[in-house]
Homo-oligomer: A and B are copies of this chain.
């Protein structure tokens, strides 16, 4: 990706490097749907010719692949962070949840596109396979946290990871950057609710 962008810059080509081209492309995909978007639509929205787009990518399919991989690479990078790999499983899980919220907010249009992929093409099926791999890693973290006794033993790990990331992923449905809510505030709310629960301390003895 940086190679292509570098080439464009070296040639002094006006307009878009690949990163900025994807920024616009992903917005059009989200508005019209990937299948409902033609290279002609993209050319018009970008204000450049189709051959200028083909300078960067070989096909619409490659634009989709680069776009969903931008989201997936960012999520998998979270899993590679030190705090996701060392320490107690509950802390690693909390770190992954918190950083995933930050990735969703930072890469909102790319994650939105990713989460709408239904598996109609090879690129889409590859994206779904990577999503399942991410889910599996989260689910294993939940299992490890149960095994170490740091989270309640009476919830199913797979169901828990689905619900946890259901909460996280809902961000694409309601988050509007313009409203001034910061990623950190959302991450705080998610971890407070999911790890410590909404119920007030002084109310707990009544139910447990």
10 A-B pairs with C-beta separation under 8 A: A90-B203, A149-B200, A149-B203, A150-B199, A151-B199, A159-B185, A159-B186, A166-B166, A166-B169, A197-B198
Number of contacting residues on A, CB 8 A?
Answer: 44
Cβ-closest chain B residue relative to A168:
B166
Contacts of A163 in B (CB 8 A): 167, 170, 189-190, 193
Question: Given the known A-B contacts A163-B170, A189-B155, are A198 and B194 also in contact in the complex, defined by CB atoms under 8 Å?
Answer: yes
Residues from 174 to 197 in A contacting B, C-beta threshold 8 Å: 174, 181, 185-186, 189-190, 192-197
Which one of B170, B197, B198 contacts A170 once the chains associate, using CB atoms below 8 Å?
B170
- Asked if residues B174 and A162 are in contact (CB atoms below 8 Å), the reply is yes
Tell me if A154 counts as interface (CB < 8 A to partner B).
yes
- Asked if residues A152 and B189 are in contact (CB atoms below 8 Å), the reply is no
- Asked if residues B152 and A198 are in contact (CB atoms below 8 Å), the reply is yes
Chain A positions near chain B (C-beta within 8 angstroms): 90, 145, 149-156, 159-160, 162-171, 173-174, 181, 185-186, 189-190, 192-204, 207-208
- Asked if residues B162 and A170 are in contact (CB atoms below 8 Å), the reply is yes
A125 to chain B, nearest CB (A): 17
Question: Given the known A-B contacts A170-B162, A174-B166, are A195 and B189 also in contact in the complex, defined by CB atoms under 8 Å?
Answer: no
Question: Given the known A-B contacts A163-B167, A186-B159, are A152 and B192 also in contact in the complex, defined by CB atoms under 8 Å?
Answer: yes
